[in-house]
Amino acid sequence: MTHMTRVKAASVLSAALMLPGLTAGAAAAAPAHAGASAHSARHIPFTAAEVTAQNDGSYKITWTASGVRHVTVRANGRTVASGGSTGSVTVTGLPAADRQWFDLVPDRGRGLHLADRLIKLDGTTNFRDAGGYRTTDGSWVKMGVVYRSDALDRLTTADLAKLKRLGISVDYDLRTTSERTGAPDRVPSGARYVVANVIGDDSAVFAMPTTAEGAAQMMVDGEKAMVSGATAKAAYSKVFAGIVADADGSLYHCTAGKDRTGWASATLLTALGVPRETVMADYLASNTYRAAVNAATLAAMPAAQAAVYKPMLDVRAEYLNSGFAEVKDKYGSFASYEKKALGIDPGELRRLKAQLLVG
């Protein structure tokens, strides 16, 4: 690796993440059509659906629902829009709320309960819902249960009150000791605080990259370490054990909410059956949510330095793909990684899905 001799991947990643700005019986007796009817009632016909808050206070709701003729959109107990099997509507005039929820109700099958993925807080830029995604078998990951974020040290009193109202009950801090000490979390009253240090504190030997190519390679190596590194396996095992035990109100975060947090979400969504392309889109969304912060950070640097830093501020497909490649190389399959590295057995996986999937 050019300019990167004597470098431990996890140690270098740690240094990068601390840079400024990186921050059965009865059923058998039932008529066949009764079983089909029950299945139809549970089935979610939506193949795509999303709520996006607009800067003017309105909300854009889009959906595609196979085999449906009519979809009603409800908010705060009243109908605010409607459409056919495919729709895109903009809803205005809703009262202020911590988080605006919408119910998409089809004329057949089960509906969806959705909100904008981003949670707007004064002290964060990348605090968002981990759910709202469709799985390969047609289920959906519940929203309002598990969250992901960047650092929480700048949360305001109003932010903390909002998170308490949203039901945040446990905060899994994925950062190193120096990060936690330098920027300690602020958590809602009553929420548990759990340390789950992903990359450890061994930073005795490291060298910062001097080229953009070296920086990108550092991020690739760091992603691999988050899969097979001993401290990473221990940390993520702790997080997932907690979520399996009780997912409701769970929050995990690192400094920028993109790398260590990104792998946590990629692992969770993959375990739940979300397709890889959707997992990748969720991962890459950090580039959008952190765009302004990243741009300001780079603008404050000399051009040559900014060119080297940019790969460390980015999330890139090659980074996440290297993590999945490490899973295949070290464990053979994702199911094996879940069991051997994270300690999630089939029974626990069923419990996780029961808590987080609908449909």
Task: Identify the band that residue 21 occupies on the pLDDT scale cut at 50, 70 and 90.
Answer: very low
State yes or no: pLDDT of 272 exceeds 90: yes
State yes or no: pLDDT of 17 exceeds 80: no
Q: How far apart are CA 251 and CA 129, in angstroms?
A: 9
Q: 286, 257 in Cβ contact below 8 A?
A: yes
Q: How many CB atoms lie within 10 A of CB 136?
A: 11
Better-predicted residue by pLDDT, 16 or 192 = 192
Query: Exposed, middle or buried: residue 50 (CB in 10 Å: 0-12, 13-18, 19+)?
Result: middle
Of 48, 126, 134, the closest CA to residue 356 belongs to: 134
Instruction: Provide mean pLDDT across the span 310-339.
Output: 98
State yes or no: pLDDT of 213 exceeds 70: yes
Task: Identify the band that residue 208 occupies on the pLDDT scale cut at 50, 70 and 90.
Answer: confident
Using CA atoms of 86, 143, 159, 297 in order, give the dihedral in degrees to the nearest 10.
Answer: -70
3-state secondary structure of 298: helix
Q: How far apart are CA 132 and CA 129, in angstroms?
A: 8
Q: Kindly report the average pLDDT of the chain as a whole number.
A: 90
User: In the prediction, which pLDDT does 83 show?
Assistant: 97
Q: What is the edge-to-edge ordering of all strands in the sheet holding 128-129? A: 128-129, 146-149, 250-253, 170-173, 192-195
User: In the prediction, which pLDDT does 24 show?
Assistant: 30
What is the percentage of the chain residues whose pLDDT exceeds 70? Answer: 87
State yes or no: pLDDT of 22 exceeds 70: no
Quote the longest CA-to-CA distance of the chain.
75
State yes or no: pLDDT of 323 exceeds 70: yes
Q: How far apart are CA 352 and CA 245, in angstroms?
A: 8
Q: How far apart are CA 265 and CA 147, in angstroms?
A: 9
The 10s digit of each residue's pLDDT in 137-173 is: 999 999 999 999 999 999 999 999 999 999 999 999 9
State yes or no: pLDDT of 217 exceeds 50: yes
Instruction: Provide mean pLDDT across the span 267-296.
Output: 98
Global pTM?
Answer: 0.89
Q: 91, 61 in Cβ contact below 8 A?
A: yes
